[in-house]
Structure formats: structure tokens, C-alpha cells
Amino acid sequence: MTGIRVADLTYRYGAIAALDAVRFEVDQGAFCALLGPNGAGKSTLFNLLTRLFVPQAGRIEIAGHDLQANPRAALAKLGIVFQQTTLDLDLTVRQNLTYFAALHGLSGRDRARRVDMVLERLDIADRAKQKARTLNGGHKRRTEIARALLHDPAVLLLDEPTVGLDAAARAGITDHVHGLADEGVTVLWATHLADEVRPDDRLIVLHQAKVLADGYANEISGAKPLQQAFLDLTGADA
Ligand code: ADP
């Protein structure tokens, strides 16, 4: 089963190609890092995957559903964690989740059960009564990941989810999200930091609108540290 399938995806801003015939597949339950320097096209790809933008050419499938032909079914399978915090800071963690679950049409006991489930899954049940404003950065992010899982998506997109977090919180978030992939969620994790990628992660390197490398991180890095392989591929200075 394929979690995400992208075929010949092209998007231009006027004369600037943000994505040029991009093609890749991510298996269901894989953790796939999308690594690219600033300007590579990562945000544009996310905007297309979430249907904020419509492709100028090419196709996207989410958990087997064509996003263009069957957007409702495709988007129902998608969870997303944006780069900017989008929690209501004056509500508690549980209220944030309950409100979002209601937007997904969940109600009553079912809703409470799902909220409890995602709180447990992200290890934040002990924060449920705390106002979002009082959480540290790592717990805010975990709340947002929990929220993205409320409707039990098959595919989870995360756009540079560790921006602004300290090393311990970054490690915690990466561990949790790898755990979700182990449980069968397809993960696409956009980053510009090679040190967030593990040797056995799927890895797609995006640069100047094109896929430069696609495989497992340890295959792509070879004998070099991944950071060096990434700099060599993208032609950046160390
Ligand atoms: P990333 O998220 O990897 O930093 P983006 O998708 O934001 O990459 O950008 C890809 C390319 O498209 C870059 O060259 C960027 O300058 C350009 N771009 C992004 N948004 C716009 C826009 N609204 N108008 C014109 N060019 C844009």
C-alpha cells in the first residue's frame, strides 16, 4: 500500500519553478524525511499535498485516493502539523483537542475516547488540564501532533516541526513521530537539518525544484556523514 504518491508534479510562480516534474512514492508506515535547503520547494509541495494550491501539472495520491479527483476522501486520510503554532493559547490542551475533534464531526463518548487516545499516544495526558500558553515548546508541538491524529489519518505531514525547540525536545518529537510510523502511519517530515534524519529513514533530497536523491538515508550518505553528502549534493558550502 502506498501512503503518498506524487507523479510529475509541477508548480511555478510566474517564471520561477518551485517544483519541476517531482515524482516519488512513500510506502504506508514509512518515516520519510524530505530534506532540502531553503527555497528547495518544500513548502510549495506541502501546499499542494494539502490542496491549498492546485498543481499546474502532475498527480497526487493520498492513501490510494487521487487528491484532484476525490479530494474529500484523500484529505480525510491526511493529518498536518504546520510550522507555526496554531493552538488556541487560552484553552487547555484538552479543550484544544476537543474543539478540533468537534470540527471533524466527532461527538460524545467517541470524541472523549479519541482525545484520550491521542493524549496517551503523545505522552501528554498529564498536561491535559494545562492552558496551552503555559506549555513548553516541546509539549506545544506534541499537542499539535496529537491534534493532527484525532481523525486517525493514514498520512501525517510535518513542516519543519522542530523549529525553535531545544535539543531534548527535538529528540523527543523525532522519537514520537518515528513511533507513529512504526504503528503504521505514513510520515513525511520536511526539514533543512540533516541531523534530524536517521540512517534507516527513507529520504528524499529536494533542491531547486527537483528530487536530487531518493532512497534510504544510509544509501544516500554512503561512507560520508549525511550532512556532508547533503552539502555535496546541493553544492552548498560547509
Ligand atoms: P522551501 O519551503 O523549501 O524553502 P518554497 O516552496 O518556499 O521552498 O520555495 C520554492 C521556490 O519558489 C523558491 O525559489 C521561492 O523563492 C519561490 N517562491 C515561493 N513562494 C513564492 C511566491 N509566493 N512567489 C514567488 N516565488 C515564490
Is pTM beyond 0.85 here?
yes
Task: Using the atom order of ligand 1, give the atom closest to the CA of residue 14.
Answer: 25
Q: Which atom of ligand 1 is nearest to the CA of 192?
A: 3
- The CB of 48 under 6 Å from ligand 1? The reply is no
- pLDDT digit string, tens, across residues 33-55: 999 999 999 999 999 999 999 99
Q: Give the 3-state secondary structure of residue 5.
A: strand
Expressed in angstroms and rounded, the spacing between residue 216 Cα and the centre of ligand 1 is 26
Cβ atoms 192, 22 nearer than 8 A: no
Collapsed DSSP state (helix, strand, coil) of residue 2 = strand
In order of 36, 150, 162, 206, 236, the CA distances from 227 in angstroms are 11, 35, 17, 14, 11
Q: CA-based Rg of the chain, rounded to a whole angstrom?
A: 18
pLDDT above 60 (res 63): yes
Q: Write down the residue that cell numbers 479543550 correspond to.
A: 95
Cβ–ligand 1 distance for 16 under 6 Å, the answer yes
pLDDT in the model for residue 238 = 46
First to last CA, the chain: 38
Residue whose CA is at the smallest distance from ligand 1 atom 10: 41
Q: Residue 120: is its pLDDT beyond 80?
A: yes
Nearest alpha carbon to residue 76 among 93, 64, 59: 64
Per-residue model confidence as pLDDT tens digits over 121-173: 999 999 999 999 999 999 999 999 999 999 999 999 999 999 999 999 999 99
Whether 34 and 211 have beta carbons less than 8 Å apart is answered as: no
> 206 with 22: CB under 8 angstroms?
yes
Q: Would the pLDDT of 84 be above 90? A: no
Q: How confident is the model at residue 202 (pLDDT cuts 50, 70, 90)?
A: very high
If you average pLDDT over every residue of the chain, what do you get? 95
Looking at ligand 1, which residue's alpha carbon is closest to its atom 26? 13
User: Average of pLDDT values for 8-35?
Assistant: 97
**Best of 43, 49, 53, 163 for a ligand 1 pocket test (most atoms within 8 Å of beta carbon):** 43
Q: Is 39 close to ligand 1, i.e. is its CB under 6 Å away?
A: yes
Residue with CA closest to ligand 1 atom 24: 13
Rounded Cα–Cα distance for residues 226 and 47 (Å)? 27
Are the C-beta atoms of residues 123 and 146 closer than 8 Å to each other?
A: no
